[in-house]
Amino acid sequence: MEDVGTDTAAPESPLAKWRNEVSKKFQHYLDRSSPHTARRWLVTLAAAAIYILRVYYARGFYVISYGLSIYILNLLIGFLSPKVDPELELLDGPSSPTNDSEEFRPFVRRLPEFLFWYAITKAFCVAFLLTFFSMFDVPVFWPILFFYWFFLFFLTMKRQITHMIKYGYLPFSWGKQRYSGRRFAQSASGLSND
């Protein structure tokens, strides 16, 4: 008979232990960076500037830049889109408020800001590393790639803005009404202290 309580797991290799420790430490620093939005984006802008300078001085790697820009455009669409698409919700029946007496449901992004930032930063770092391999420096006429990307960006943003206007959502908090805690609660319940 086998002992049920014995541990039969193979011992972990030193490489696996090291990788696990590095992964935990990296996740720790990622978690600590979460509330520092402005600092995170400044680091990403620095990474983007370094990448742009690398491409400018290398005078190449335009295909990598094109792929990076398409990837960032895809991330931007996820960042600007709601988690639950209103078009699909209309087919299933209205579950969002249709008048003022129903519950307010805030805008929830399909791609949260932190994941958006992390994916963009990682993309710039990978693209920067790819510029050190000459096999990725495919000779192309870069203005064609730029105008094609600009055309895609224009059409995609036009479709996204039309979708926002049609379903009345705004993915940013600029210009939205803000409520302060105590005064709003008193005025909502009719207990104002006049």
User: 136 lies in which domain range?
Assistant: 38-91+108-171
Model confidence at 1, pLDDT cuts 50, 70, 90, reads: low
Answer whether residue 142 is part of any domain: yes
Cα(194)–Cα(192) distance, rounded to whole angstroms? 6
Model-wide pTM > 0.75: no
CB atoms within 10 A of CB 160: 15
Does a structural domain hold residue 117? yes
What mean pLDDT is predicted for residues 23-39? 88
Q: Is residue 62 part of a domain?
A: yes
Count of structural domains, the chain: 1
Residue 181 forms part of a structural domain: no
C-alpha span between 21 and 33 (Å, rounded): 19
Considering the domain boundaries, does residue 128 fall inside one? yes
* Residue 180: band (very low, low, confident or very high) from pLDDT cuts 50, 70, 90: low
| Residue 143 belongs to a domain | yes
The answer to whether position 188 is within a domain reads no
5 located within any domain: no
Paired strand residues for 109: 82
CA-CA distance, 1 to 37, in Å (whole number)?
A: 57
Cβ pair 44, 124 in contact under 8 A: yes
Tens digit of pLDDT for each residue in 92-149?
A: 655 555 555 555 566 677 888 899 999 999 999 999 999 998 888 888 888 898 999 9
- Average pLDDT, rounded, for the chain: 80
